[in-house]
């Protein structure tokens, strides 16, 4: 597999632009390595990061590593390997847990 490796923010940006391909939903779909869940990833300064987290850091100044801040795709139409900064939403662990609970309740109610 073709792993993306970068050591500076500039080389990361170049890699992102080179390896992403826009689809019909305007997703920038990462064409490099993906994990089992379908998320694109890259190695930056020796550590593995999901590519949408890298895009949020480069374009939206979301901290790359944080104990509670998370980055998610804005909706279900978005490809998991998408790194279009406009398709990314900053969230927190707590909000994600609440959203998961709400969805679980909706599913229970629907059954």
Kindly list the residues in this chain that would bind Zn ion in the complex (CB under 5 A).
27, 78, 82, 84, 87
Q: Which is nearer to Zn ion, 59 or 105 (CB)?
A: 59
Q: Which of 89, 4, 2 is nearest to 41 (CA)?
A: 4
Angle between helix axes 51-60 and 9-19 (nearest 10 degrees) is 120
Q: Which is nearer to Zn ion, 7 or 88 (CB)?
A: 88
Say how far apart CA 50 and CA 73 lie, in whole Å. Answer: 12
Q: For residue 20, how far is the Cα from the chain centroid? A: 13
* CB-count burial class (<10 Å; 0-12, 13-18, 19+) for 107: exposed
Q: How far is the CB of 8 from Zn ion (least distance, A)?
A: 25
Q: How far is the CB of 52 from Zn ion (least distance, A)?
A: 9
Q: How far is the CB of 7 from Zn ion (least distance, A)?
A: 27
Q: Which is nearer to Zn ion, 16 or 82 (CB)?
A: 82
Q: How far is the CB of 67 from Zn ion (least distance, A)?
A: 26
Q: Which is nearer to Zn ion, 71 or 82 (CB)?
A: 82
């Amino acid at each position: 597999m073709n792993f993306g490796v970068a050591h500076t923010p500039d080389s990361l940006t170049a890699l992102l632009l080179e390896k992403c391909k826009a689809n019909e939903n305007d997703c920038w779909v990462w064409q490099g390595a993906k994990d089992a869940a379908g998320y694109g990833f890259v190695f930056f300064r020796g550590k593995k990061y999901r590519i949408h987290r890298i895009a949020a850091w480069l374009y939206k100044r979301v901290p790359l590593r944080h104990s509670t801040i998370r980055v998610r795709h804005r909706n279900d139409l978005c490809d998991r390997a998408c790194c279009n900064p406009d398709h990314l939403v900053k969230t927190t662990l707590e909000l994600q847990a609440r959203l998961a609970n709400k969805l679980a309740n909706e599913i229970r109610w629907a059954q």
